Chain A
Amino acid sequence: MFYREAGDFKTSYKDDNQTFPIAFDRYRYWVVLAVAFLVIPFLINDYWANAIFVPFLIYAIAAIGLNILTGYCGQVSLGTGGFMAVGAYACYKLMTAFPDVSIVIHVVLAGGITAAVGAAFGLPSLRIKGFYLAVATLAAQFFLVWLFNKVEWFYNYSASGQINAPERTVFSVPVTGPNTEAWAQYLICLVFVTVSAIIARNLTRGTMGRKWMAIRDMDIAAEIIGVNPLRAKLSAFAVSSFFIGVAGALFFAVYLGAVEVGEAFGIQKSFLVLFMIIIGGLGSIFGAFAGAAFLVLLPVALKVVGVDLLGWPTDMVAHLQLVVVGALIMFFLIKEPHGLAQLWRVAKEKLRLWPFPH
């Protein structure tokens, strides 16, 4: 009734090429942005920021990054944790080396450094395919974590081996360090998420995204129709690692504040982000958000129900969480391999015909 193209006349090429062709989607997009920027910052408190919103936003960036590589370009990577660590340590070194430069620039630069590292580890993807490559990216994961653990220069020779985020401000509001307020934490992450999502969305529907998808669907065929596999794969690795690096930098500087590399960026993190994009939907920006929201909310929900309502021991709920996550992964792969994003697409199709489905 309200969700359809009919009556929405597009009179210019610009209109015709816009991201959301249906008027309702555009309104929804602006409403979501307005709520996120203008309402939530005034309501948010420490618990909501730390337990749900900030991790959700940061994982959403990481999931967008991995989705570009795995969902759009078809190269499975298990090195996400390692690349997030590169972002975090690059950000830390930049923050401590150039204290006067804005943290925003540092986070972006950290993304750039991660992009370079990602492209270097992406080089073997030209020879190695499928899950041989997935295993090869484990080399990146373990090597990088080991490197940040062993080479003291990366953590400025601190005795604990940890890195700690010093206080940095944006418009003289602290966004890192212990004096950060919940709303500032939330807003800086939100800005990065919004920009990342817009960039990713437009990259994936342009030439670059088409090339990635051609490589994903069949790389030899793509090569024959004129896609350069070297450039397509390496650009996917670089762009993906850029977002993952930004996520790692924010995860360290804004969310955790202090990081021990094996604990924060271990192999578990790689799997977590991979699960997000499987559950959310491979090859969909919305899916990255849905998957991140789902896997951030699930432990919180399980904890509220199990520990607070039923009074079960915490470790049992933690184990139960493994069971539930594992079962959900298998369930989604069997029933809905395209994830939550596909459910959303189906819902939209239905909505288009509603209330007269014939």
Chain B
Amino acid sequence: MMSAEFLYGIEVVLNGLMAGVLYALVALGFVLIFKASGIFNYAQGVMALFAALTLVGIMEGQVPFAHVINAVFGTEVHHFGWHVPALAAIIMTLGVMVMFAWAVQKYIFKHLVGQEPIILFMATIGLAYFLEGVGDLMWGSNIKTLDVGLPQGGSRWVEDMTATLGGDDFYGFFIDKLDMVATVVAAILVLGLIAFAQYSKQGRAMRAVADDHQAALSVGISLNFIWVLVWSLAGLVALVAGIMWGAKSGVQFSLSLIALKALPVLMLGGFTSIPGAIVGGLIIGVGEKLFEYTIGGMMGGATENWFAYVLALVFLVFRPQGLFGEKIIERV
């Protein structure tokens, strides 16, 4: 028998781990693009929002830009009147994200090759604004529910299984089924990405580009193709993150703010490391939940808003390259 308080502490940690998995998922999208092109993609969160919006729009047969068409031509269109099954809609959304990746590469970042990282970063902030506006114009800005058939609610099974661990005032761990699904999906996605990077031809080319642009170019790897590929992969990760977060709390603007949460994750884990993104995500997820549970109440609550940043800030002062980042070497 363990004391109920201790067990509730464990429950907080478990929930933190699940939240951390979702942070890690978004952070993973950042790492992919950063490794291959040196672009720190602030728009990753908005990409998740845009992917989720597009998915809902396709599933419900919304007419894209209906809002604009109605305003300009005085028509009254809004829906095509059909419903697309979830799987087909997901594949179509993926197609949209690939097209988006191609357009971003062709119209923006091709022209910015060789610029300083900070300029690229600011360009992605512009991209985030642009994409957010386009998403709202295309699908409307009202809050949408996303239902692709994922299980919802707490798991009775886990609750019943663990209820015996504590005393009479302990009722078992409350764990959301959706979080469990998200964890499994994230794990599969990460393993898939690692396998892709390690064993496929394109994956090898991708790692070669990440190592050295010039050398990769000289052995005949098309940088353009790799960058489109990387942005598409980031689009895939954004779509998965968008589905998970969208199913959890509705598809709305706040979805794009998870990008901001992913930043401290990256700082902890290091911008160039896939395992770093995962470990960083878990640390932040558990850390902020535990901090809120133990100390946050005394400080007035809602410490989750800033805890991750301050933790990352303090951590970086002692280790500027993050946990798993490559050592920063500076030369004049």
Contact = CB atoms under 8 A, between A and B. Distances in A.
A321 B68 CA distance: 13
B309 A138 contact: yes
Contact of A124 (B111, B299, B317): B317
A274 B122 contact: yes
A269 B128 CA distance: 15
A149 B305 CA distance: 12
**By CB atoms of chain A within 10 A, which of B301, B305, B328 has the most?**
B305
A139 B137 CA distance: 32
Interface residues of B, number: 51
Nearest to A143: B306
Given A132-B320, A135-B267, A136-B312, A146 B303 contact: yes
Interface in A289-313: 311-313
Given A135-B312, A327-B130, A130 B117 contact: yes
B137 A327 contact: no
Contacts of A312: 71-72
A127 B141 contact: no
A51 interface: no
Interface in A71-113: 76
Contacts of A220: 330-332
Nearest to A136: B313
Given A150-B300, A334-B111, A326 B131 contact: yes
B305 A146 contact: yes
A199 to B, nearest CB: 26
Contact of A323 (B40, B134, B302): B134
A324 B126 CA distance: 10
B316 A127 contact: yes
B299 A128 contact: no
Given A146-B303, A323-B133, A333 B310 contact: no
Contact of B126 (A124, A224, A333): A333
A66 to B, nearest CB: 13
Interface in A123-152: 124, 127-132, 134-136, 138-139, 142-143, 145-146, 149-151
Interface of B: 40, 67-68, 71-72, 108, 111-112, 115, 117-119, 121-123, 125-134, 136-137, 141, 260, 263-264, 266-267, 299-303, 305-306, 309-310, 312-313, 316-317, 320, 328, 330-332
Which 10 residue pairs are nearest across A and B when measured between Cβ atoms? A326-B130, A329-B126, A322-B133, A326-B129, A323-B133, A139-B309, A150-B300, A142-B306, A319-B136, A143-B306
15 contacts: A128-B316, A131-B117, A135-B263, A139-B310, A146-B306, A149-B302, A218-B332, A220-B331, A275-B125, A312-B72, A316-B68, A326-B127, A333-B115, A333-B126, A334-B111
